[in-house]
Amino acid sequence: MMKDTEIIMKYLKSTISACLLVLLLGMSVEAQITQKAEIGKFAITNATIYTVTNGVIENGTVLIENEQIVEVGNDVDIPSEYEQIDASGKQVYPGFFDAGTQLGLQEIGAVAVTNDQAELGDFNPHVRAFTAINPSSASIPVTRVNGVTHVISMPVSGRLAGKATLIDLYGYSPDSMAVTPNAGVHLNWPTSKKGGWWDDRTDEEVDKEYKEDLKKLNDFISRAQFYNKMMTDFENNPSNKEQPDMNKKMQAMREVVKGEIPVIISVDAKSDILNVIDWTKDYPDMQFVLAGVRDGWRVADEIAEAGLPCLVSTLYTPERDYDNYQRPYQNPAKLHAAGVKVAIATGGVENVRNAPYHAGFAASYGLGKQEALNAITINAAEIFGVDDKLGSIEEGKQANLFIADGDPFEPMNHITDVFIRGHKIPMVSRHIQLYQQYLDRGAKTN
Amino acid sequence: MKKLLLLILTFCFSLTGFAQEKGSVLIKDGTLITITDGNMPNTDLLIEDGVITEIGEDISAPRGVETVDASGKYVMPGIIDAHSHIAGVDINEWTNPVTAEVSMEESINPNDINIYWALAGGVTSIHLMHGSANVIGGQNETLKLRYGTEMDDMRFEDAPRTIKFALGENPTRVHGQGFDVQPRTRMGVEQVIRDHFDAAIDYKRNRQEYLDAKQAYEDGYRSTPPVPVAENERLDVLVDILEGEVLVHTHSYRADEITMLMRVFNDYRIEDYTFQHANEAFKVAPELKKNGAYTSVFADWWAYKFEVYYSTAYNASILNANDVKNSINSDSGELIRHLNHEAAKTVHYGNTSKQDALKMITINPAVQLGIDEKVGSIEVGKHGDVAIWDGHPLSIYSKTLKTYVDGKKYFDRAEDADDMRLKVDAEQEFDEASGRWYNENGRHSETCLRGAEIRFSKQGMKLQGN
């Protein structure tokens, strides 16, 4: 991390006119000064580049022009118009990708009016996270200065909670942030088990409820398949048929039943995971991704055989009291060893910035650094079909990357620069601003 | 028959005796992170009968004492969590804004698996706190993580008494909003505290006058018996606080409420207190320093409620730079598993030195709990509460290998069981459903309000869901 004076100097330099204006208005210099992102031509030099897809390049250069990476390598000519960023002794990584969050949908947990992730109703495929992403959420800069540049943000309530969206963490509108406005539909899998000791339903009641829930889900999908067929027939041959009535929910399911976007299935318990695996076989045209998957290590081979990718985390307590204490940390490694593609998903909001540490624990407990890096970059990009532009440092990909003064999985290390879609992001967040304001508040007390 | 009874009694005592057993071990050639005296590479550490007796080179093991090779490993004092609810049975006696008379001392479950998971993260002592539903809550209990023993064996012997206070949203929500009982506001919170301190001062005087008068009557110096002033356990505890016998740990967030309480404590001459959570303590770091107040904070939790919205993960570093004695706590069964990692975040957020970061999970919380002469560093004469790590404890790649409490090993990674069922609950259902993953991951679940979810409202009793 830069020295504080350097940060402040940089800050002042780039916002000198804003400062003058503020001073002219007679306001405190501590008032809001907004530094803007820069876009243009940047050369990151002398860096150790973790490309993810093409190994590690020592003493390398990355050229960024506007939104793209135009060259990566050891032997790169740097045209004079490029602004050079010397990354000697530093490491460059692709922007980290948290494949399951509620970021942008919630501002303050306990203040209900700031919570937009839980719409009423059980089947809401037409409800879109994309609509409610707040680009001004204080959590967004807090997250991106830690190197997390992309997230899946998802609605969470009911059975079919709504459409998840894939956004990057820079922009003034959901439109400018969205990589894939509809990245998947989120399904809360109906459990076939009791919730815990407090659940006083009989086994028969639990089973009956599960079957009812499953039937509702299957019925909903059958209707969607029928609707899609009817609509497709009409679209293919409009003169032949009467136009079917519009149904928003069914319309929203078309891209799901056609397999264009995945169903992201939140499921944790072993028996539920096995039920999901069976269930997906009934829908060969659809795409599925599992999320949570806390018992995944118990049935890793079955998940691998079904070819289902998993969105997982590590920082939670073991599912059952008698589980080995390391299981949450080991879950990604055990899934990977069985052949499952894993990506990191924290499920979080304000602390999505800890995604690198979820990956770090996975790395530490068996996954290894390279695979953990994959899990927080390219794997997520592949699962959501955007690996042509995200997830690694390669020529032609979007310039989403960050510079760190060491291994970013180590909490002691610092992120010094972040680029999102080629934009050099100001290293400013509420947390940093409060630090700068209060570190040395001055001697005056009371 | 008598013999049989004796046998049973002997057996019972021997079981208890076993639980209280203190251990001896020689840990050789490790890098000792002493906390108070720097790092000592290739140094031996001898613990005898639960106490550190020797630190140095080439110590030979006394007869019968096991030797553990720690070459290439780190040995650090057991981590101390100044804010925890693991091992707690009931957490909140929320029925009144002031419940100083209750205590966590009979609310301890030595078999809570969270204790074992904490040991696996190198933790050896916790401050088991009452919840934050009331302004003056119950008394807390400082524990050693002697997992699987008896309730009495969990207590940290001779640790000072402590009590929980709570300011801000929790008490105003539970009492003002929930019951229409003061406090509804932060203004009310201040008055609840002052009212009760005043009442305690009056009670102490009146009770003493009554006792004196009673004595005088009994001794014949007085003709009529005095009007009795009944003993009041709640006020007794408040008197103890005013007399410095009980350390106050206050759940608090905002800078204004923190300064309010310092003002109140100055008026009543209360010292040696700790602000718990204290997300906005960084705003009044110089005032905290001036008053000698301590803080115990999260590494990075924020935005889960309004009073923590204007927070910064740089809180700990700002406090440390302003010379406020700060600790990093968990308040969570998850964070307590990696408090070393939480402490490392203070290096990330604000460049706290590694040594200071480690102090925040060892000697600093020990000071805040008044147990720093016994634990919190590796020094001769201190308790044999240590953990062996396979790398520097602030690295994410390091793991706890063994954890000792009083020289007795309570965790060993090499002997760790795959299935703890026999130790926990052989009857436990294997395959129950879990909560939704996205509701819990790394998020504050308000353990402080555990048990206070059922609240009475004007419409009747209401169970507050998640």
Each residue's pLDDT tens digit, A274-310: 999 999 999 999 999 999 999 999 999 999 999 999 9
Tell me if chain A has a CB within 8 Å of the CB of B392.
no
| Cβ atoms of A319 and A295 closer than 8 Å | yes
Confidence of residue B306 (pLDDT cuts 50, 70, 90): very high
Exposed / middle / buried, residue B388 (Cβ in 10 Å: 0-12, 13-18, 19+): buried
CA dihedral A78, A80, A83, A89 (to 10 degrees): 40
Of the residues A198, A200, A322, the best mutation for testing chain B's interface (the one with the most B CB atoms within 10 Å of its CB) is A322
Confidence of residue B456 (pLDDT cuts 50, 70, 90): very low
**Residue-level pLDDT at A2:** 44
The fold for domain B79-370 equals: TIM Barrel (3.20.20)
**Residue-level pLDDT at A19:** 41
Mean per-residue pLDDT, B148-172:
97
Residue spans in chain A of domains classed CATH 2.30.40.10: 36-94+423-438
The fold for domain A96-390 equals: TIM Barrel (3.20.20)
Of the residues B259, B389, B396, B430, the best mutation for testing chain A's interface (the one with the most A CB atoms within 10 Å of its CB) is B396
Digit-coded pLDDT (tens) for A34-74:
689 999 999 999 999 999 999 999 999 999 999 999 999 99
**Residue-level pLDDT at A240:** 76
**Residue-level pLDDT at A379:** 98
Residues, chain A: 446
The values of phi and psi at residue B152, to 5°, are -65, -30
Q: Which residues contact A344 (CB under 8 A, 6 or more apart)?
A: A96, A97, A98, A99, A311, A312, A313, A332, A355, A358, A359, A362, A375, A376, A380
Identify the closest residue of chain A to B121 by CA–CA distance.
Answer: A325
Contact A196 B433 (CB under 8 A): yes
**Residue-level pLDDT at B7:** 53
Instruction: Tell me the one-letter amino acid at B466.
Output: N
Contact B442 A346 (CB under 8 A): yes
Tell me if chain A has a CB within 8 Å of the CB of B113.
yes
Digit-coded pLDDT (tens) for A337-352:
999 999 999 999 999 9
| Residue A240 to chain B, least CA–CA distance (Å) | 47
3-state secondary structure of A377: coil
The angle formed by the CA atoms of residues A275, A278 and A280, to the nearest 5 degrees, is 105
Residue spans in chain A of domains classed CATH 3.20.20.140: 96-390
Nearest to A193 among B337, B431, B439 (CB): B431
| Cβ atoms of A322 and B428 closer than 8 Å | yes
3-state secondary structure of B95: coil
The mean pLDDT of chain A is 92
Nearest to B442 among A315, A323, A324 (CB): A315
Digit-coded pLDDT (tens) for A156-213:
999 999 999 999 999 999 999 999 999 999 999 999 988 777 788 898 999 999 999 9
- B21-78+376-418 CATH, one of 2.30.40.10, 3.40.50.970, 3.40.47.10, 3.40.50.720: 2.30.40.10
Q: What is the percentage of chain A residues whose pLDDT exceeds 90?
A: 85
- Which of B368, B319, B308 minimizes the C-alpha distance to B346? B319
| Cβ atoms of B9 and B346 closer than 8 Å | no
**Residue-level pLDDT at B437:** 85
Largest CA distance in chain A: 83
The ipTM assigned to this model is 0.92
Contact A439 B318 (CB under 8 A): yes
Q: Which residue has the higher pLDDT, B79 or B3?
A: B79
Residue B455 pLDDT > 80: no
Confidence of residue A30 (pLDDT cuts 50, 70, 90): very low
The residue extents of the domains of chain B are 21-78+376-418, 79-370
Confidence of residue B465 (pLDDT cuts 50, 70, 90): very low
The fold for domain A36-94+423-438 equals: Urease, subunit C; domain 1 (2.30.40)
- Which of A280, A268, A259 minimizes the C-alpha distance to A312? A268
Digit-coded pLDDT (tens) for B195-232:
999 999 999 999 999 999 999 999 999 999 999 999 99
Cα(A155)–Cα(A174) distance, rounded to whole angstroms? 15
**Residue-level pLDDT at A198:** 76
The values of phi and psi at residue B277, to 5°, are 75, -70
Residue B399 pLDDT > 60: yes
Digit-coded pLDDT (tens) for A216-230:
999 999 999 999 999
Digit-coded pLDDT (tens) for B27-37:
999 999 999 99
Nearest to A411 among B341, B421, B444 (CB): B341
Tell me if chain B has a CB within 8 Å of the CB of A431.
yes
**Residue-level pLDDT at B1:** 47
Contacts of A446 in chain B (CB under 8 A): 287
Digit-coded pLDDT (tens) for B309-355:
999 999 999 999 999 999 999 999 999 999 999 999 999 999 999 99
Contact A443 B301 (CB under 8 A): no
Exposed / middle / buried, residue A215 (Cβ in 10 Å: 0-12, 13-18, 19+): exposed
**Residue-level pLDDT at A442:** 67
Tell me if chain B has a CB within 8 Å of the CB of A189.
no
| Residue A230 to chain B, least CA–CA distance (Å) | 36
Residue B15 pLDDT > 70: no
| Residue B9 to chain A, least CA–CA distance (Å) | 32
Confidence of residue A322 (pLDDT cuts 50, 70, 90): confident
Digit-coded pLDDT (tens) for A375-410:
999 999 999 999 999 999 999 999 999 999 999 999
C-alpha distance from residue A334 to each of A277, A338, B42, B400 (Å) = 18, 6, 36, 21
**Residue-level pLDDT at B3:** 54
Residue B170 pLDDT > 80: yes
Dihedral sign from CA coordinates of A126, A131, A132, A137 = positive
**Residue-level pLDDT at A241:** 75
Instruction: Tell me the one-letter amino acid at A34.
Output: T
